[in-house]
Amino acid sequence: MRDFHKKRDEKEKEEAIDILTKQLETEYKLVSLYEETEKAIKSSAVRHLLHMIQLDSKKHIDICQLVIDILQGEEVLKEEKEDLKKGLQRHIELENEALEKANKLLRNVWIREIEGLQELVKKWRSDEKEHHKALKKLAEKPFIRISERDFFSAFKTTEELEERYRKTYQHRKQSK
């Protein structure tokens, strides 16, 4: 039964990697398409809009690649996330400043009365809120597999689970 679960788990992992790899290809094609289209457009404003969307595709490339790397064994343990947590406080301060500026702009008559500008500033404000939330969550979340079949993990802290993961991973490396 254990071999069955192990084979199924490996198959699931490979399927996830395959889906992510295909999405990487799509995102790279999108980036190229945005670059080509951007060159053909004369309007600076429209080029900036395309560039914004292109940056989202580049972000998606990084997300997909990160997930692939972790699935293939890259470790992101508590120690590695400490730097993120340290930088988070300054980041939060800068994000709060950006949010104040965006809110002030949204009260500006020129921004309020030009719907496209209002939408852009709302998008910026939304991104700033999302960055803050995402960084905080990612700094707190474990990046080790916690199986729903593992009753042990329900009663352990992230630190204890990471220590168990380290020991298991080291044991697997030594036995190969």
What is the C-alpha separation between 106 and 115, in angstroms, rounded?
11
Closest CA to 138 of 71, 100, 69, 88: 88
Range of the domain at 28: 1-74
Residue 123, pLDDT score: 94
In a domain, 8, yes or no: yes
In a domain, 7, yes or no: yes
In a domain, 68, yes or no: yes
In a domain, 52, yes or no: yes
Which tens digits make up the pLDDT trace of 55-108?
Answer: 999 999 999 999 999 899 887 766 667 777 777 778 888 888 999 999 999 999
Least confident residue range of 47-61, 130-144, 153-167 = 153-167
Which tens digits make up the pLDDT trace of 6-60?
Answer: 788 899 999 999 999 999 999 999 999 999 999 999 999 999 999 999 999 999 9
Tokens linked to 142: 């474990």
Which tens digits make up the pLDDT trace of 116-128?
Answer: 999 999 999 999 8
Cα angle for residues 166, 164, 172 (degrees, 5° grid)? 50
Q: Provide the domain count of the chain.
A: 1
